[in-house]
Structure 1
Amino acid sequence: MERWRIVRAFTLGPLLEAAVPKPGNVSRLRDFDDLTLYHFLFADTAVTGVYYEAVKTAELLRKGILEPREAGLGELIKRAVQASREAQDANPNFGIIALSLPLIMGMTIGRNMLDARKKARLLIEESTVRDTMEFYRAIRIANPKGIPSGVKYDVYSDDSFRELFQDGINLAKLAEMSCERELIFCEWLNEYELSYSTFGRLYELIKELPLEDAVVRAFVELLATNLDTLIVRKAGLEEAKLVRENAGKVFAGELSVEEFDAFMRERGDLRNPGSLADVMAVSLSLLVLRGLRIELRNGRVWGIIGRP
C-alpha cells in the first residue's frame, strides 16, 4: 500500500472524529475548558512525520531487513506523543497514536486491510521490554487523566523500569495485564476487533445517512454496547454504566441525541468518552483507506466509497 495513502488515512480519520459533533466529545461545535478542536487539529497533524517513518520502518520489516522485535514500536509511539505535545498543551491523541501506529505498520507489512490486523498483533507480540519502557515514557509525556498510582509497574515510579526489565514485560504482556483498565490494550490483543467492526458499520451507514449522522449513530451504538474505559478511570464504573444505559435509551426512543449530549456534558468532561472515541478515529481511518470521499447533497455532506 502506498506510503502517503496510509499516512493520509490515519491523519484524516482522527480529524474527522474530532470534527463531527458526537455526544460528550469536543467537536466543530463544542469545546471543553481545557480541550478544544484546535488541540486536535495541531496534535493530529503534528504526528504525520513519525507515521511516515513508521511506514518506512515497516517496509524494511516486510523485506526481511529488520525483524519484528526490531520495529521500535515503543520508540515510535513516544516520538509521536512528543511531537503532539510540542504542537499543543493538552492530551488529545495519545490513545489514537497508540492504536494507530501498530496498525499503520501492519498495513505496510500485510497483504491487505484484513491481514494488517494480524501483522499489528504480531508486532505487539514480538515487542521488547524496551518498547514497554518507551511506551511508559510516552504516557508520562501525554499525562492522560485517570492513570492509577501505587500499583505494580506504576507508570510514574522510576522503580517500574527496573521491575519491567526484571519481569520481561513487553507490550503484549502489558496489554494482557491492563486490558480491563484500557480498551486500547484489548484492541491490541484481539486484532482490532472493535475498530474493524465499527468500520464495517460505518461502511453500511454512509449508504443511508449523511456522513455526520452516520458517525453519530455508530458512536452512540458504541456507547450503548461498551464501557468507555476513560470514563471508568475518571468517574468510576457506575458512571460509565450510566452512560452506556442512557446511550441505549437513545435507540429505545426514550432520549434524543440532543438530550443524551446534554446529559454527557452535565459534569464537565467526566463523561467525555475517550477510549471509544479513539476506536472511532481508527475506524474512520480504515474508512478513508477503503476509499472514502465526500459529496455535497442538498446542503449535507455525504460519504461516498470509490471514485467519482
Structure 2
Amino acid sequence: MKKYILLGLILSLSAKAEKKTEPVVSHQNISVTSQEIRYSDNEPHYGAYISTSNCSFEILINDIPIIKHNDTSGSSLSGSYFPLNEWITKKGNQKIIIKMTPGFNQDKNILNTELSPNSEIQVKIVKSLKNKSGNSEEDEVRKYSTSKKKRINSNTFEDAFTFFADIPYHIETLENAEVLLTTDKDKLQAIEQEAVAKYNKVRDIYMKGSWSTLANIYYNREKRVAKQLFLLPDEIKNRWNEYVFRTNTDITFFDVKPIEDYKMTFYGDGKIVCLQKINNEKSALWGGFKRKGKDNVTTTYITLYLYRPKGTKELEVY
C-alpha cells in the first residue's frame, strides 16, 4: 500500500436537512438482498484477538485496514476482538500485515522517537462455527507475536504472516476491478478529482438527499457483506437500521463537514481508493449527530472505500 499526500480545500456544499420522515430501508431492498444469499452448513466466522503494548500500530488483512491506532496517551489493546470475514473474499491464504511505530511516553508526556524494548503486538486468529446444538465453538487458527522478531529499524517495524480461511463464498468484486494506483501524476490527479466528486456526492445525499438514494449507493456493499457474514433477513434489516441519516425519527441534529484537508490513500493492492483527513488519518467524510434526549453531539467518521469495475468509468462504493 502506498500513500500520496494531496491537500484539498473543497468548497462547502450548503444544504438544509429535510424534515420529512422516511422508512429506514425499503422492503424491496431487504427481500432482494436476502434472496441472493446462499446459506450452507459451513458458515465460519474468522476473527482476530489483538493485544498491544507501548506502540502505535496498523494492522491490515489483504491490504485493507482492520485497525489503525496512533498512541497519544499510552493506551493499548488487551485481547480486543476484530471480525475479519468482511475482508475475506475467497477460500485460501489470507495475508495479515503488521506495522508498528513508537508509542507514547507517559512519564515525559511525549511520543517516543524509538520503539521500546517492550513494544509488542500479539495477534490470535480464530475460527467460529456453530455446533449441532446451535452454539458457537471457537478454534485457534494461528498465533503471531512481534516479540521474537528481529528489528532492523529502531523507529518502525513491519512484518506479515498468512492464515488459511476455509469459507464457502467467492466475492469477485476486486478481481474484476481496475488497479487505480499509478505513478502517472496526471492519472493520479484525475483519480483524485473523481474520488472528491464521489465523496461530495455522498455528502450531498447525507445533507439534502433521500434515504432511498443513499441506500442505492450502499446497496452492492451491503449485499456483499451479507454474503460474507451469512446474514439472515432480520440481521440484514438491522444493518440498514444502523445507518445514521438525518431523517431518522430519533435524530435532532445532523451535519457532515465539507471534504477538505485530506490525503488520498490506496488499499486493496491499489484497487481501492479513499480520502483520509491529514490530522488523524480517519475518513474525510465525517460529521456529527445528536439523538433525542442526548445533550452531546456524537462525532462520526463514515468509511467510504471506492473502486472502479473493469470496463466502466465510474467509481463505486466497495
From the two aligned structures, give the one with the greater helix fraction: 1
Give the alignment's TM-score, normalised by structure 1. Answer: 0.26
Give the alignment's TM-score, normalised by structure 2. Answer: 0.26
